[in-house]
Structure 1
């Protein structure tokens, strides 16, 4: 029975590309929400300037760090997979090790990050950027706030809420994609070895 491992390698490359794309999007949205918070927290009354300790941004920082590491590791593997000079397609064990070496740590980091952020979001005594913006995105401004500048209200809370949720659940999607990539790494390596073994047997039969 002949097995063609090429579709497996292609699927893994596509998945890695999706991981890179999601990581870029997560990094952008999480960094944007944190930037808005840092710029407005001390002046926007909707961010409680007198109580900065009410907000916990460790989860957002964790999402940024997770996306950065995942982007770097997956990006390296993707680039090496696409460079003809490296020729990973014919270096089966090296390809599998690189794939597992990039997806393994990233998957562990992403799942820990998702759990950590969920724990922070569930805390009742503190708010995260996500819980605060989602809680007050539809609240009407008070009468004395009507004359404030546009960046001094809660007008962007809906967008920040959606971006925060995307960063969190996007990280969960990345974890699933990384697990799929690791599975394809193992299956692809086994298919490569099987094909290599079959070709060697056929060559031996022809020589005999």
Structure 2
């Protein structure tokens, strides 16, 4: 029985591409929410600037850091997969090592980041994250005498910030699952490559024996 490893390699490349795309989106959304917080926290009354210690943004920073690391590692493997000179399809062991070497650290980091951010979110209302705070007050209305506040001194952007914060967190979870799947495909692809090479050797040996018999 001959196993074609090409579909496994293609699936792994597609998954790696999705990981790269998700990480870019996570970087954009998490960095944007943190940027808005840093700009408005000292001026926007909706951020309660009198109590800056109430907010914990370490979770958002961790999401940014994990996405950056995962993007660098996954992007490197994706580039190696697409560059003909590297010739990964014909070097199954190198491909498997490169895939696992890029996916395993990223998977562990993203898992730890998701757990860490979730723990911080569960500390609300004693301590709030950008996500818990914006989601809590995204639908709140200012007092009537405050309706004339400028757009950067209200909670008009809280709905968008809430959804972006959630995307960064749950997107990191999706990345972790994709990376786990990629590692599984790495093992399956390596086994398929080795099995195919073994069957080809057997076929070649059998052909040589038949040629000798005919002679």
Q: What TM-score, normalized by structure 2, do the two folds share?
A: 0.96
Aligned residue in 1 for 2:138: 137
Aligned residue in 2 for 1:194: 195
Unmatched tracts of structure 2, length 5 or more: 210-215
Aligned residue in 1 for 2:154: 153
The reply on whether 1:78 has 2:65 as its aligned counterpart is no
* CA distance, structure 1, for counterparts of residue 199 and residue 142 of structure 2: 72
Q: Deviations over 1:42-73 (max 9, x none)?
A: 00000011111010000000000010000000
State the Cα distance separating 1:146 from its structure 2 match: 1.3
Q: Kindly report the root-mean-square deviation, in angstroms, between the aligned alpha carbons of the 2 structures.
A: 0.6
* CA distance, structure 2, for counterparts of residue 73 and residue 148 of structure 1: 45
* CA distance, structure 2, for counterparts of residue 167 and residue 77 of structure 1: 23
* CA distance, structure 1, for counterparts of residue 22 and residue 100 of structure 2: 19
State the Cα distance separating 1:143 from its structure 2 match: 2.6
Unmatched tracts of structure 1, length 5 or more: none
Aligned residue in 1 for 2:181: 180
Equivalenced residue count is 208
State the Cα distance separating 1:145 from its structure 2 match: 2.1
Q: What TM-score, normalized by structure 1, do the two folds share?
A: 0.99
* CA distance, structure 2, for counterparts of residue 46 and residue 143 of structure 1: 15
* CA distance, structure 2, for counterparts of residue 41 and residue 92 of structure 1: 52
* Higher Cα Rg, which structure: 2
* CA distance, structure 1, for counterparts of residue 118 and residue 6 of structure 2: 39
Aligned residue in 1 for 2:205: 204
Q: Deviations over 1:115-163 (max 9, x none)?
A: 0000000003100000000000000012332121101100000000000
Aligned residue in 1 for 2:213: none
Q: Secondary structure at the match of 2:202?
A: helix
Aligned residue in 1 for 2:169: 168
Aligned residue in 2 for 1:3: 3
* CA distance, structure 1, for counterparts of residue 17 and residue 73 of structure 2: 12
Q: Secondary structure at the match of 2:107?
A: helix
